[in-house]
Amino acid sequence: MDGQTSNTRQPTSSSSSRRRRRSRGKPTWLGWTFDKALKVFVWYALITVLFRCPSEQKDIKEGTPALCKPYLQTRDHVTPYAKPYYDDYVAPQLQKVQPYIDQVNTRVVDPGVKAYRQHGAPIVTRAQKQAVVQWQKTIKPQLEVARQQAGKQYDIYLSPHVKRVQDVVQPYYDSVRTSATDIWELEVEPVYRNTAPYAQKLLTQGQAFAVKTLLPQARYAGTAAWAFGAKQIWPRMQVLYGENIEPQLLRIRERLGRYRDEKRLQAEVKSMDVVTEAPVSAVKDATSSASSAASSLTPTEHFHEDLQAWERACSKAVEEGAEHLRTHLAEIASHQTATQANTTGHALLTQLEDTVSGTLNSVKARILSIVASLPEDAEQVHIDEAKDSLKTAIRNAGQNVKSAAQAIRDWKAQTNAETDDLVTKALQSTLETIDSIREIRLAEIGRKYADAGLPHKEWSAYNELKKSTKLWRDDVENVVDASTELKGLKEAVDEVEGKGMSVAEECARELGRLKEVGGWKIEAGDGEDNFSSKQMPPAAERARKKVVDTASDASEAVLGSKRPEEGSFESVTSAAAGQASSLSSSASEAVYGSTGTVESLTNKAKESASSLADG
């Protein structure tokens, strides 16, 4: 019964669902009307935009369709944003099909438009006029009658209810409207009227402050913070990590690696025991039945075969150990290159460059401050003190750069020591592994043949094989010397050190140049922010003035006496010329270190002094 009931209910359920689907799928009159109207509007909009709208807003006239103005406004607003994408994606494709579009326009569209204007437009105009006549004559009167009937029905059935609702709601509406009007006119509008200028001013000033001050300052602060973090904080963190944490992690990894090597050794020993188990059993059988069969091998021959098998197993162990060591060395070199040369080394190099830049700027600022602290008519004592202060500043700056450069040297030594220690431990682990394999297997052979009655000569050969380890050790050690990865690591570390030393040497030369420039700036009292060595320093001009003043004093001393003695005249002139020469030489040495322009000024001063004395 249940089955029949279910069978009878199933068609009823499916038929009802089909009826619901049919009822839902059947369009209504309103939906059909909206769908058709939307399609007509879309086609009308496309045709109007493509064929009837002008290309610019200024070309819109009185007879232009109403759809053209919002279309052109929207197009002009969207064009600046959409044009880059149009030029990148649409224009290339449109250029490919543009010839075909031109052909269609020439052969189809233009003749069609011309034919429409010639033949279709008059027919459309007559149809429009006829439609207007029919509208006025037939449809409009019927619509008016329908409107009047609807109005009567509204007055009979709906108007009383609407009137009752309006009578109930109207007092509340009037009260709310009156209150809102009073609040606006008495409270909100005066406040708005009084605060609007200030709000507008605040908005304008706030916008100007945000655009001209806040955003640039925020951008500058962000850039400065990023630069400080990238050049100061991050390199120091890299150095601290690379010098303190990374070596400890590397040692832990190496201990784990040696533990894995020991496990691998045990696996190698077990596999070799399985391989050599058959020859050992054969040796026992041969020893026990040596006298029974004439064609069987003697214990000596079995001993030789086991030794040969041992040599083959040892050769294989050496090859595998060398390959494992080669892989391990590549891992060590790759890790050290990534964590030390490319990270810690570059961080130290960045610190050195920042130290050099800051040092040079501080030295220049110190030179200007020393020059500014000198009195206007500075005596030689003040100049000497200023030069001593400059030397101290240069020496301290050099010590700072030297410390930063020494940090790179120490890092290189530490990195090389760590790498050598890791390589040595890896080599020792490999050698110990191979030694263990050799010793275990060779000891097993010795125990098996201890009671075989072998001659002394065989045991001598056995001992020689047991002691011969130099050859295979050399083969394994050559893997270290031939490792290209370790050579690449050394080159990377040397490159970092070379760059650091180049930066330090360049800074040393620049400090020496600044020392010379600072010297003649102190001599000349030049406080300008110009540290170029190519320009003529004002020290020469100062020396020239001193020479002229000295020569004038000498001439006054000579001309001031009525009848001077010849010896006195020569002594005064010589003293003036000597003082002028010493002043000019000191200025020249302070700037150039050799004779030049200042000496020519000295000669002119001497000639001037001589002419005055002769006069």
DSSP string, 183-210: HIIIIIHHHHHHHHHHHHHHHHHHHHHI
The pLDDT of 508-519, averaged and rounded, is: 88
- Token pair 């890790």: residue: 335
The reported pLDDT for the residue numbered 499 is 92
The tens digit of pLDDT for each residue in 36-50 reads 889 999 998 888 888
Residue 292 contacts by C-beta under 8 Å, 6 or more apart in sequence?
A: none
The reported pLDDT for the residue numbered 266 is 53
The tens digit of pLDDT for each residue in 335-382 reads 888 888 888 888 888 889 888 988 899 988 988 888 888 887 777 888
The tens digit of pLDDT for each residue in 557-576 reads 434 444 444 344 344 334 43
The reported pLDDT for the residue numbered 254 is 66
The reported pLDDT for the residue numbered 468 is 67
**Has residue 83 got a pLDDT over 70?**
yes
The pLDDT of 518-538, averaged and rounded, is: 75
The reported pLDDT for the residue numbered 546 is 52
**Has residue 597 got a pLDDT over 80?**
no
The answer to whether the CB of 345 falls within 8 A of the CB of 501 is: no
Distances (CA, A) of 234 to 229, 258, 346: 6, 34, 11
**How far, in Å, CA of 286 to CA of 106, rounded?**
108
In this prediction, residue 503 has a pLDDT band, given cuts at 50, 70 and 90, of very high
325-340 burial, b for 16+ CB within 10 Å, e for fewer? bbebbeebbebbbebb
Using a 10 angstrom Cβ sphere, with 0-12 exposed, 13-18 middle and 19 or more buried, the burial of residue 609 is buried
In this prediction, residue 217 has a pLDDT band, given cuts at 50, 70 and 90, of confident
The pLDDT of 487-502, averaged and rounded, is: 91
The reported pLDDT for the residue numbered 520 is 84
Map residue 294 onto helix, strand or coil: coil
Whose CA is closest to 336, among 503, 476, 232, 483?
483
Using a 10 angstrom Cβ sphere, with 0-12 exposed, 13-18 middle and 19 or more buried, the burial of residue 42 is exposed
- First vs last C-alpha separation in the chain: 156
The answer to whether the CB of 332 falls within 8 A of the CB of 426 is: yes
**How far, in Å, CA of 309 to CA of 322, rounded?**
20
Which two structure tokens, joined as six digits, stand for 588? 């020249």
In this prediction, residue 245 has a pLDDT band, given cuts at 50, 70 and 90, of confident
**How far, in Å, CA of 218 to CA of 181, rounded?**
46
The answer to whether the CB of 560 falls within 8 A of the CB of 604 is: no
**How far, in Å, CA of 160 to CA of 162, rounded?**
5
Q: Which residue has the higher pLDDT, 221 or 184?
A: 184
The reported pLDDT for the residue numbered 406 is 92
The tens digit of pLDDT for each residue in 100-134 reads 888 888 888 889 888 888 888 899 899 989 999 99
Whose CA is closest to 601, among 534, 558, 546?
546
**Has residue 411 got a pLDDT over 60?**
yes
What's the residue count for the chain? 615
The tens digit of pLDDT for each residue in 420-460 reads 888 888 888 888 877 777 777 777 777 777 776 677 777 77
Q: Given CA atoms 215, 221, 227, 233 in this order, what sign does their dihedral have?
A: negative
In this prediction, residue 262 has a pLDDT band, given cuts at 50, 70 and 90, of low
The pLDDT of 2-8, averaged and rounded, is: 42
The reported pLDDT for the residue numbered 409 is 92
**How far, in Å, CA of 474 to CA of 427, rounded?**
11
The tens digit of pLDDT for each residue in 304-333 reads 787 787 778 778 878 888 888 888 888 888
Task: Work out the mean pLDDT of the chain and round it to a whole number.
Answer: 75
Which two structure tokens, joined as six digits, stand for 326? 């080669």
The pLDDT of 79-88, averaged and rounded, is: 83
The reported pLDDT for the residue numbered 505 is 92
Q: What is the DSSP letter of 65?
A: -
The reported pLDDT for the residue numbered 547 is 45
**How far, in Å, CA of 222 to CA of 615, rounded?**
74
**Has residue 145 got a pLDDT over 80?**
yes
**Has residue 162 got a pLDDT over 50?**
yes
| Domain range list for the chain | 539-614
Q: Which residue has the higher pLDDT, 590 or 72?
A: 72
The reported pLDDT for the residue numbered 3 is 42
Which two structure tokens, joined as six digits, stand for 480? 């270290």
Range picked from 182-196, 228-242, 368-382, 540-554 for highest mean pLDDT: 182-196
**Has residue 292 got a pLDDT over 60?**
no
Dihedral of the CA atoms 156, 158, 159, 164 (nearest 10)? 130
Residue 462 contacts by C-beta under 8 Å, 6 or more apart in sequence?
A: 307, 442, 445, 446
**Has residue 85 got a pLDDT over 50?**
yes
**Has residue 199 got a pLDDT over 50?**
yes
In this prediction, residue 590 has a pLDDT band, given cuts at 50, 70 and 90, of very low
For residue 246, the tally of other CB atoms under 10 A from its CB is 19
Using a 10 angstrom Cβ sphere, with 0-12 exposed, 13-18 middle and 19 or more buried, the burial of residue 414 is middle
Map residue 264 onto helix, strand or coil: helix
Q: What is the DSSP letter of 241?
A: I
**How far, in Å, CA of 500 to CA of 348, rounded?**
9
